[in-house]
Structure 1
């Protein structure tokens, strides 16, 4: 594997672990506000992000690369309303998309087709993540000020169940 591609993938492992940490902080905020459904949603997001780190880790090991784990930064967001974590999530997912795109561009530059094929799953995943984050913002803006509608949204997110991402399920 090209050294730059390996370096970026190794950094992505840390970025995915930070994402898990960040989403756990979102879950804590919602839990403290009495919205256990939203807390459930973000705890599942945290688990998915941890899984994404593991998917990168496995790919790196399968390609003979050494993993270097770095410190995970402390989330620095403070929220004053229910919409702010949702907006922060969309902003963060766009950042993650840019990081994945950067790795893909580096792999493309050196004709690392194996890495590009591997990253295709993440490109699709990021499209889904951004769409979901945007949908949650739209629903909160439309219905969040109505207590009954917010209760229904909270119930909807409480019903979300974790499922192992396909690259891990295949192992």
Structure 2
């Protein structure tokens, strides 16, 4: 059984994951509107991943006898000056999500909630990957800054990204 504090924190995280999904959907359509189909694809996959993260948290909350409370999703940004700005915002956002996950880990540790700690470890690892991916794209975009052919090549590369069902959801959909 989850504590009330953990249940509330998990519900807040569910909302944060849906907000993240909404942000990445906004980035996807903004990129598509500017003709960056590969970037749009990358953010579309990110949108699906964030929805999956919310689903993982909902499944976990329900499995522990908790109650999922869906809250309204706050407004997200809809315009960016460049693809590079999008990925800089992505890294900044993923760092914020990392701090939210770490906060959940702290609650679990304080409450000696080993089941939640175990589940949260997957998210800790996921955030390391999310931040590294965003930083890698920032580095690549910075290297080709102002070079339209470079941006074209990165856009082509990002078009190949596909969605993979996260391990905690594999076989459950």
TM-score by shorter chain over 0.5: yes
TM-score category (smaller protein) = over 0.9
Please list every run of at least 4 consecutive aligned residues from structure 1 whose deviation after the TM superposition is greater than 3 angstroms: none
CA distance in 2, matches of 1:147, 1:76: 25
Q: Secondary structure at the match of 1:85?
A: helix
* TM-score, normalised relative to structure 2: 0.96
How far did 1:76 drift? 2.6
* TM-score, normalised relative to structure 1: 0.97
Mapped contact 2:28–2:42 kept (Cα < 8 A): yes
Q: Where does the alignment leave 5 or more consecutive residues of structure 1 unmatched?
A: none
- For 1:49, the equivalent position in structure 2 comes to 50
How far did 1:147 drift? 1.6
- For 1:112, the equivalent position in structure 2 comes to 113
**1:5-154 correspondence to structure 2 within 5 Å:** 5-154=6-155
How far did 1:154 drift? 0.5
How far did 1:34 drift? 0.6
- What are the superposed Cα offsets for residues 40-62 of structure 1, whole Å, 9 maximum, x if unpaired? 00000000000000000000000
Aligned residues: 171
Q: Where does the alignment leave 5 or more consecutive residues of structure 2 unmatched?
A: none
How far did 1:114 drift? 0.4
Cα-Cα RMSD: 0.9
